[in-house]
Structure 1
Amino acid sequence: MFNDAALKKLFELSGGIPRLLNLLCDRAMLGGYSQQKALIDANLVAAAAQEILALPTKPAVAAPALPRWVWPVFSLLCLTIGVLGALWWQSRGV
């Protein structure tokens, strides 16, 4: 099912870690199936590794932190709106 070069590539890429080896073999066999190949070669293993081990092409960047004053101002604004709403509700005269 795997030729010698593919087995060497699998060990090189997985470092002998069973879970990673299983993922690489599964993806390489899927690639072999899609290409209708009975023998998995090192190229299929390399393609499987590219899919599984690929790092994100664009590093994640954290959103800039808000200034410290934003939350207190927002809280005060919400409180003010709540108090004004309550005063308006009571002044409607039921």
Structure 2
Amino acid sequence: MTLTGKQKRFLRAEAHHLKPIFQVGKGGVNENLITQIEEALEVRELIKVSILQNCFEDKHQVADELAQGAGAHKVQVIGNTIILYKESENQKSIELP
């Protein structure tokens, strides 16, 4: 399933007030980070991840790796912030338009 433009706009608005709960640094993307992001997505459905200055990987590549690894949708990459969405199996709180 791919998100439509309308759904992405809705999710961006929902994510606006969120603070990043994960940071990607010089270690880049690793298994541990992906596992933590999967768990956070199950609880929250929508999260922000910030990319630190010392991360040498391309931010779009980092976003793709995280989304793929966690089985989530990349909603947006804006500045050094990535917004990810994944529908929760047990705690569904966000109704997509």
Name the structure where helix makes up a greater proportion of residues.
Answer: 1
Structure (1 or 2) with the greater strand fraction: 2
**Could you say which structure has the larger radius of gyration?**
1
Higher relative contact order, chain-length normalized (CA < 8 Å, sep 6+): 2
Q: Which category of TM-score, normalised to the shorter sequence, fits these structures?
A: under 0.3
What TM-score does the superposition give when structure 2 sets the normalisation length? 0.23
**TM-score, reference length from structure 1:** 0.23
